[in-house]
Chain A
Amino acid sequence: MEKTIVESERLTQARALVASLEAGDDTEATRIIMNFPENIETDLFQEVGRLTRELHEAIVGFAMDDKVVQAVQHEMPDATERLTYVIELTENAANTTLKAVEDSMPVAEELSNVSDKLATEWDRFRGRKMELEDFRALSNEIGQFLTLASSHSKTLNENLSEVLLAQGYQDLTGQIIRRVITLIHDVEEKLVRLVSISGTARMQETKKEEVALEGPAVPNIEQGEMLSNQDDVDDLLSSLGF
């Protein structure tokens, strides 16, 4: 079908050429001749044109894609901030834990030393090898030890609670890292699309619904109005009648 159209066009043009030559119209004849090569290569030109346009549109489309712009302008720098914050959180947790452990060790050691000493004295008393004066001294020491044991146990318990709480970093950093993984996945998807653009099988875009949740507040990142501490949360809630 196309071929016949092309052939009939050529025939028309040939007739027009002959006609213009017979009529002595040089200008028209030249114009028709100049048009020949273009016509012959029309298909090729059209194909190259089509490819060029598609590639151009694809590249423009890629650049205009909000998610890519968003990724390049905000999310990539944000990801850096987020990961830096992860380092900070893990470092803080490690320091808190180490400090609590370091503070606890001498406390536990003192309890152990004093109780060892008292145990020796106690054995002497149980073996009836102790003078009354020494027993009075031992009795005082035991009294002091009980006070010491009570306060040291409290200290140890407080330090252990601090270690416990410090482990919350795992939840917070986990949430932050998950976000960065999602971003990397999105960018990867876009790059795969760009690579496959000249091919015919363009990957179906799988648009995930945007998560409205903001996750942990990360310093130096625009996240909308984030409340920085429990007091602010309490103030907001009490302003709402809580």
Chain B
Amino acid sequence: MDKNMKILIVDDFSTMRRIIKNLLRDLGFSNTHEADDGLTALPMLQSGNFDFLVSDWNMPGMTGIDLLKAVRADPKLASLPVLMVTAETKREQIVQAAEAGVNGYVIKPFTAGTLEEKISKIFDRVAG
């Protein structure tokens, strides 16, 4: 796994972005960027050569699930690994995210261990 990979963190709460950013830095990933909802994130993704997207679900403007769908629908971004980090724990929603092509799903509140585990699982699959 490339520790220098470019990661976009999308969450409307800046505290949560900081938490994820710090955890990722702890795990050795320091090339992180932030956006506060899907509408801000999408143009960044389209022009920024990102390697990994970590997104919340419930955000004003454009939600995480819509962002995920937009990413999968964009030929240039379709294969971007996406990890959903969200407080949404409804069964149907998780199924919906899976159907939309999410690569991992972490529910809040989470631990550093869970985040690390999901990220390595995603990149093991991408590599394999």
Interface residues of A (CB under 8 A from B): 161, 164-165, 167-172, 174-175, 213-217, 223-230, 233, 236-237, 240, 242
Chain B residues with Cβ below 8 Å from A215 are 58, 87-88
In angstroms, how far is the closest chain A Cβ from the Cβ of B108?
A: 6
Most buried by B among A161, A217, A233: A233
Point out the residue from B16, B19, B23, B91 that lies within 8 Å of A227, measured CB to CB: B91
Q: Mark B62-91, 1 if CB is under 8 A from A, else 0.
A: 010000000000000000000000011111
User: Other than the known A224-B91, A233-B94, what 4 A-B pairs have Cβ atoms closer than 8 Å?
Assistant: A168-B16, A214-B93, A227-B91, A242-B98
In angstroms, how far is the closest chain A Cβ from the Cβ of B82?
A: 13
Q: Are B107 and A229 neighbours in the complex by a CB distance under 8 Å?
A: yes
In angstroms, how far is the closest chain B Cβ from the Cβ of A50?
A: 45
B128 at the A/B interface (Cβ < 8 Å)? no
Q: Are B106 and A167 neighbours in the complex by a CB distance under 8 Å?
A: no
A228 to B91, CA, bound (A): 10
Q: Are A213 and B58 neighbours in the complex by a CB distance under 8 Å?
A: yes
Q: Are A236 and B95 neighbours in the complex by a CB distance under 8 Å?
A: yes
The A-contacting residues of B in range 96-119, CB under 8 angstroms, are 98, 104-112, 114
In angstroms, how far is the closest chain A Cβ from the Cβ of B127?
A: 16
Chain B residues with Cβ below 8 Å from A216 are 87, 89, 108
Given contacts A213-B63, A214-B88, A228-B89, contact A168 B58 (CB under 8 A): no
Given contacts A172-B108, A233-B107, contact A164 B19 (CB under 8 A): yes
Given contacts A168-B109, A213-B63, contact A237 B94 (CB under 8 A): yes
Point out the residue from A168, A224, A227 that lies within 8 Å of B15, measured CB to CB: A168
Most buried by B among A213, A227, A228, A236: A213
By beta carbon, the residue of chain A nearest B57 is: A213
Given contacts A175-B87, A215-B88, contact A230 B19 (CB under 8 A): no
By beta carbon, the residue of chain B nearest A229 is: B107
The A-contacting residues of B in range 30-71, CB under 8 angstroms, are 57-58, 63
Q: Are A171 and B13 neighbours in the complex by a CB distance under 8 Å?
A: yes
Chain A residues with Cβ below 8 Å from B19 are 164-165, 167-168
In angstroms, how far is the closest chain B Cβ from the Cβ of A236?
A: 6
Q: Are A161 and B26 neighbours in the complex by a CB distance under 8 Å?
A: yes
Question: What are the 7 A-B residue pairs with the smallest beta carbon separation, nearest first?
Answer: A216-B87, A171-B13, A171-B16, A225-B91, A170-B15, A214-B90, A168-B109
A52 to B40, CA, bound (A): 54
In angstroms, how far is the closest chain A Cβ from the Cβ of B18?
A: 8
Chain A residues with Cβ below 8 Å from B91 are 224-227, 236
B2 at the A/B interface (Cβ < 8 Å)? no
A156 to B68, CA, bound (A): 37
Please name 16 pairs of A and B residues whose Cβ atoms are closer than 8 Å in the assembled complex, sorted by A: A161-B23, A165-B110, A165-B111, A168-B16, A168-B109, A170-B13, A171-B13, A172-B108, A172-B109, A215-B88, A216-B89, A227-B94, A233-B89, A237-B94, A240-B95, A242-B98
